[in-house]
Amino acid sequence: MAVPAARRNRGDLLTWMAVAFVVTVVGTRVYLQLTGFPEVGSGNLHIAHSVWGGLLLIVALLLPLMYAPSRLLPLAALLGGIGAGLFVDEVGKFLTKDNDYFFAPAAPLIYGTGLLLAGMAARSREHRPSSDATRWYAALDLLGEAGDDHLTVREARTARRLLEKIAAPDSGEATPLARSAAALCREVDAWDQLPEHRSGWFSRFAHALDRVDRAVVPRFLYGTLAILLSVGLLGYALLAGAAATLLAVDPGLRDQLGGAIDSGDLVSTPVAVTVLWISAASCLATVVMLVLALVQRIRGEQRAAADWAIRAMVLVLVVVNLAASYIDISVLAVIMVFQLFGLGVLVRYRTRT
C-alpha cells in the first residue's frame, strides 16, 4: 500500500492545533483553579467540559469533509486543538472508577499529549515535498484557490515550480503524471491579472501588532524582561532540580509525596525514579544554558544570549514540567502561563535585537 502524500502546509496546521491544545488545557486549569471548580448543571446533572470538547471535535471534522477551500483548514485545526484540549483535560475521569479529575498519573498523559502535538508540528514544519505525488497534491492545493479568486502571483509561481519538477523527471521518462503537470504548467502561464498578495485578517492583525510593538515598546524593555525571566527560570530550575534529586535518592520522601497525591505505589516505581533523575539532569542542563546566556550577554552577543535562554525555557517546558505535572498540574498550569509568556518575550527580544 502506497504511503499517502503529505499535505503541503501540515506543519502550520499542526502548529495551530498544538497551540490551541496547550492554551485550552492551561486556560481551563487556570480558570477552574481561580473560580473554585464550578459545575455546569443542577442536581444530578453535570455537563463536563469534555462534552463541549467532543462537540468541537465533531465540528472540526465536518469542516474539511463538507467544504473544499483549504482556507478552512486552519479553523478546523484550531477547533480540533480546543476540542482535544477540553476532552483530554478530563482524562483522569476516564481512568478511575470514581471519576477522579485530580488523578495524579493523568497529568503526565495530558502534558505528554501536548508535547506529542508540539513535536509533530515541529517535525512537520521541516517537511519538503520529496516525491512527485506530494508535489502534485501540493500544486493542486495551491491552484485550488483559483476557484474562489484567491490565487496570488506568489502561490501560482510556487505551484508552477512544483509542476516543473514533475514535468521534468530525473529518469527522463514522460509519465502520464509528468505530461499532466506539463499541460497544467502551460495553463498557469496563461493566467494573468493575479493579485500580488492576499492579506487575510490574521496577517493584517500580526503586521499591525508588530508595528505597534516597535513604535511603543522600547527594545531595552525586552532586554530587561529577558534578564528578569532568566533569573526566575534559574530559580525554578534550581528548586525543581533539588526537589527531584531529593525525591530520587530518598524513598521516604517519595512515600510521603505518594500519600499526599494518593498515588504512593506509582511514585515509588523504577520508572518514576528514572523520570526524577532525568528531570534533575534537565534542571542542571537548564542552569548551564542560562550561565552560557549570561556569558554571551556580558560579551555583548545578545542574539546568542537569547538563543541560550530560549533553549533553557524549551527544555524546562518539555522535560522538567513533565515530571512536575505529576504533583499538581493545576498549579503547574499557572506557572506555565508565565513560562509561555516568558518564551514569547525571549523570542520577541531575539527578533528585536
pLDDT score for 289: 95
pLDDT tens digit sequence for 45-54: 777 889 999 9
The average pLDDT across 145-158 equals: 73
Integer Cα distance of 339 and 350 in angstroms = 16
Q: Residue 90: phi, psi to the nearest 5?
A: -105, 25
The average pLDDT across 270-279 equals: 80
Give this prediction's pTM: 0.73
pLDDT tens digit sequence for 291-319: 999 999 999 899 999 999 999 999 998 88
Q: Which of 148, 160, 155 is nearest to 190 (CA)?
A: 160
Same domain, 72 and 168: no
Same domain, 119 and 137: no
The residue segments making up the domain with residue 20 are 10-125
The average pLDDT across 17-21 equals: 92
Residue 180 lies in a domain: yes
What dihedral angle (degrees, nearest 10) is formed by the CA atoms of 188, 193, 194, 197?
A: 150
Calculate what percentage of the chain has a pLDDT beyond 70.
84
Residue 208 lies in a domain: no
Same domain, 250 and 120: no
DSSP structure class, residue 71: G
pLDDT score for 163: 83
pLDDT score for 152: 76
- Structural domains of the chain, count: 3
| 229 close to 337: Cβ distance less than 8 angstroms | no
DSSP structure class, residue 44: T
pLDDT tens digit sequence for 110-138: 888 988 888 888 888 766 666 777 888 88
Integer Cα distance of 280 and 272 in angstroms = 12
Please give the angle made by the CA atoms of 184, 190 and 191, to the nearest 5 degrees: 95
Residue 195 lies in a domain: no
Residue 100 lies in a domain: yes
Is the predicted pLDDT of residue 203 greater than 70, yes or no?
Answer: no
Calculate what percentage of the chain has a pLDDT beyond 90.
22
Task: Mark 326-338 as b/e (b = at least 16 C-beta within 10 Å).
Answer: bbbbbebbeebee
pLDDT tens digit sequence for 213-249: 888 888 889 889 999 999 999 999 999 899 889 888 8
pLDDT score for 264: 47
Burial of 279 (0-12, 13-18, 19+ CB in 10 A): buried
